[in-house]
Amino acid sequence: MFAANDLHHYFSELAEKSWVVIPVDKRQVLDLQSSARKRSNEFRSAGINQSLTPVKEIRSDKILWLDSANADTDSEKSVLADLSKLQNELRDYFRIALNEFECHFSIYEPGQYYARHKDTVKQNNKRIFSFVLYLNADWAEADGGQIVGYNSEEILFRIQPLAGQLLVFKSDIEHEVLPARRQRFALTGWMRQ
């Protein structure tokens, strides 16, 4: 999936800025969008916390967790293999314990968003790096749906959810997804301790 054989250059950027965009093969990730589309009836509302109370004011997307037990297509299996490789390379580069990763597809329908938040909520405090693989063939500024990362009030990054990019950032960075004006696909996950 990765356009470069050696990711060290991107890892040093990640170490420096706390976020980085790693280029990936667009064709491969668009196959993944087809997989997600075919399974759209399996997606469930993401705004559900552990007390099973919908928290729609925070996020309104739908998600489908992807793991080796439910990976169906070749593209789903191969992205899990690539992410596992990324996990090992991040572990070796940063010399930290990264023992597992978890990921889910997400679909935002027009008008849906995810308000400003951190991915390191208490029950998930083992999350070290967040990553988002964007699955949209084309995207314009006017389509909304950008992810914006913050350091207090300063904007750290603002990225279009365009296929060909894997965004990686430290999980304690605050970020939000602006309301999308068209259907928006991504695969989001976390490298965990």
Binding site for ligand OGA (CB under 6 A): 106, 114, 119, 132, 147, 161, 175, 177, 186, 188
In the complex with ligand OGA, the residue whose CB is nearer, 71 or 148, is 148
In the complex with ligand OGA, the residue whose CB is nearer, 10 or 190, is 190
**CA–CA dist 64, 187 (Å, integer):** 9
In the complex with Mn ion, the residue whose CB is nearer, 39 or 118, is 118
| Listed residue (48, 82, 44, 50) closest to 65, CA to CA | 44
Query: Strands (DSSP E) along 67-183, which ranges?
Result: 100-108, 114-117, 127-134, 147-151, 154-159, 165-170, 174-177
Q: Which stretch binds Mn ion (CB under 5 A): 64-72, 79-87, 111-119, 136-144?
A: 111-119
Rule CB under 5 A: choose which of 119, 134, 163, 189 binds Mn ion. Answer: 119
Count other C-beta atoms under 10 Å from residue 1's C-beta. Answer: 19
Tell me which of ligand OGA, Mn ion, none is bound by residue 185, counting a contact when its beta carbon lies within the kind-specific cut-off of 5 to 8 angstroms.
none
| 153 burial via Cβ count (<10 Å: 0-12, 13-18, 19+) | exposed
**CA–CA dist 150, 41 (Å, integer):** 34
Q: Tell me the two tokens of residue 14.
A: 């990640």
By beta-carbon distance, which residue lies closest to ligand OGA?
Answer: 147
CB of 88 to Mn ion, least distance (A): 23
In the complex with ligand OGA, the residue whose CB is nearer, 114 or 139, is 114
Q: Tell me the two tokens of residue 165.
A: 């990019």
Q: Does 76 bind Mn ion (CB under 5 A)?
A: no
> Taken in order 158, 163, 169, 171, is the CA torsion positive or negative?
positive
CB of 161 to ligand OGA, least distance (A): 6
Q: Which stretch binds Mn ion (CB under 5 A): 64-72, 84-92, 115-123, 136-144?
A: 115-123
**Interface with Mn ion by CB under 5 A: which residues?**
119
